[in-house]
Amino acid sequence: MTQLWPAPVASGAVDATVPVPGSKSITNRALVLSALADGPSTLRRPLRSRDTELMATALRALGTRIDDGPDESWLVTPGALSGPAEVDCGLAGTVMRFLPPVAALAEGRVHFDGDPRARERPLDTVLNALRALGADVSGDALPFDLHGTGKLAGGEVTIDASASSQFVSGLLLSAARFEQGVTVTHAGAPVPSLPHIDMTVSMLRDAGVEVETGENVWRVAPGAIRALDLEIEPDLSNATPFLAAAAVTGGSVTVPGWPRRTDQAGDAIRDILARMGAEVRLDDTGLTVTGPAELAPLDIDLHDVGELAPTVAALAALAAGRSQLRGIAHLRGHETDRLAALERELTGLGGAVEQTDDGLLIDARPLTGGTWLSYADHRMATAGAILGLKVPGVRVEDIATTSKTIPDFPGMWSAMLEARI
């Protein structure tokens, strides 16, 4: 077991302003589009975390130039995509699912691998789709090889994306460079996290790509991808633990720069916290959440915003009554089996949690301290930190895993708590 981090207990109501780094989802989509664009791009305020650095390193290995620019921007200059190249996916779903279609456009062999847990994550959907579109792929999961010829025919493909919306987004992001573009049809249970596909479509259109959408069908026409000059929004999902701190302590936290219109799934936290009794205000200063005297339980379908489930589960465990989280069976295939992990860890602190076919039942009861395992999952780690605000003695294993999407979560957490003094 890695070193345990003593989760700080809030001595009172948290009162802080917490600037949040850029969106991982937007940053990694922008990196892919910039690498395939028809000229140099500038990405301002990108997230610099393990997942985005892995994406940048992989694109550099394939021939893209990515330089540091003013004010921590990234200047991205496309180059001829070629192998041989090695891609380390780490535990980043966006790298392991967005990069294979890019690598299929390269000339030469590209080898993909990642962390041990990454080898367990489903990839056959995107790899079989690439085979159907004309790619030469060896393997059905990490590690695997792509043997490119510098082009890809593209065309029509039917997939089952019920395990992850990333399968759809990964194909769409590179499709304008396929000779025939692509038409992706989903056949299966509903696609989870649809806002992430909406984000992909919106960013493609902003880059001048022609995209048509229908019910479970997406078509990208072949053509040029316009260079980007983009300021990355704050990562709204990464902001949720800090807003949750206000909710559980009866305090007030402001996240500046919260967009009034966004495709980020994390924006759903506004409605979730309001349903649990918090006061939520969005104005020119940002999003401010003020916590209630007591959190209300809720019954909620998180199918489209499953990434918020660990935060919501932690809030539910500290609420008054029974909560039900539904629509999140797909979380069993994330960085870890998040449903099993949440059940195990909350039960270990004295909670009453039951897995259902598609989610969790959580009966709030007094919790006690103990070790909270993260399972190399950044959102499990931040859920432990939320609980630790109210439960003395919570020790989070591997808090450093939060660097996957937040460069210095422990430092930001401490600064938030110190701001009220």
Amino acid at 223: G
Q: Is 378 annotated as a binding residue?
A: no
Give CATH superfamily name and number for 4-21+234-418. Enolpyruvate transferase domain (3.65.10.10)
Q: Using only C-alpha atoms, what is the Rg of the chain?
A: 21
Q: Is 166 annotated as a binding residue?
A: yes
Q: How far is CA 401 from CA 88, 180, 214, 379, 404, in A?
A: 17, 40, 38, 9, 6
Show pLDDT as tens, one digit a residue, over the chain (421 residues): 578 999 999 999 999 999 999 999 999 999 999 999 999 999 999 999 999 999 999 999 999 999 999 988 999 999 999 999 999 999 999 999 999 999 999 999 999 999 998 998 889 999 999 999 999 999 999 999 999 999 999 999 999 999 999 999 999 999 999 999 999 999 999 999 999 999 999 999 999 999 999 999 999 999 999 999 999 999 999 999 999 999 999 999 999 999 999 999 999 999 999 999 999 999 999 999 999 999 999 999 999 999 999 999 999 999 999 999 999 999 997 778 999 999 999 999 999 999 999 999 999 999 999 999 999 999 999 999 999 999 999 999 999 999 999 999 999 999 999 985 4
Q: Is 82 annotated as a binding residue?
A: no
Q: Is 162 annotated as a binding residue?
A: no
Rounded distance between C-alpha atoms, residue 75 and residue 73, angstroms: 7
- Residue 421 pLDDT: 43
Q: Is 219 annotated as a binding residue?
A: no
Range(s) for CATH 3.65.10.10 in the chain? Answer: 4-21+234-418, 24-231
Q: Is 34 annotated as a binding residue?
A: no
Q: Is 307 annotated as a binding residue?
A: yes
Q: What is the DSSP string of 69-101?
A: -GGG-EEEE----B-SEEEE-TT-HHHHHHHHH
Tokens 């379908």, residue located:
301
Q: Is 164 annotated as a binding residue?
A: yes
Rounded distance between C-alpha atoms, residue 276 and residue 316, angstroms: 9
- Per CATH, which fold does 24-231 belong to? UDP-n-acetylglucosamine1-carboxyvinyl-transferase; Chain (3.65.10)
- Residue 112 pLDDT: 98
Q: Is 24 annotated as a binding residue?
A: yes
Rounded distance between C-alpha atoms, residue 99 and residue 30, angstroms: 12
Q: Is 414 annotated as a binding residue?
A: no
- Residue 1 pLDDT: 53
Q: Is 370 annotated as a binding residue?
A: no
- Residue 308 pLDDT: 97
Active site residue 345: no
Please say whether the beta carbons of 295 and 125 come within 8 A: no
Rounded distance between C-alpha atoms, residue 168 and residue 97, angstroms: 9
Q: Is 404 annotated as a binding residue?
A: yes
Non-local CB neighbours of 334 within 8 Å, separated by 6+ positions: 93, 121, 306, 377
**pTM for the complete prediction?**
0.91
Q: Is 121 annotated as a binding residue?
A: yes
Of the listed 233, 307, 335, 343, which one is catalytic?
307
Q: What is the DSSP string of 191-256?
A: PS-HHHHHHHHHHHHHTT--EEEETTEEEE-S---PPPEEEPPB-HHHHHHHHHHHHHHT-EEEET
**Encoding tokens for residue 365?**
């009861």
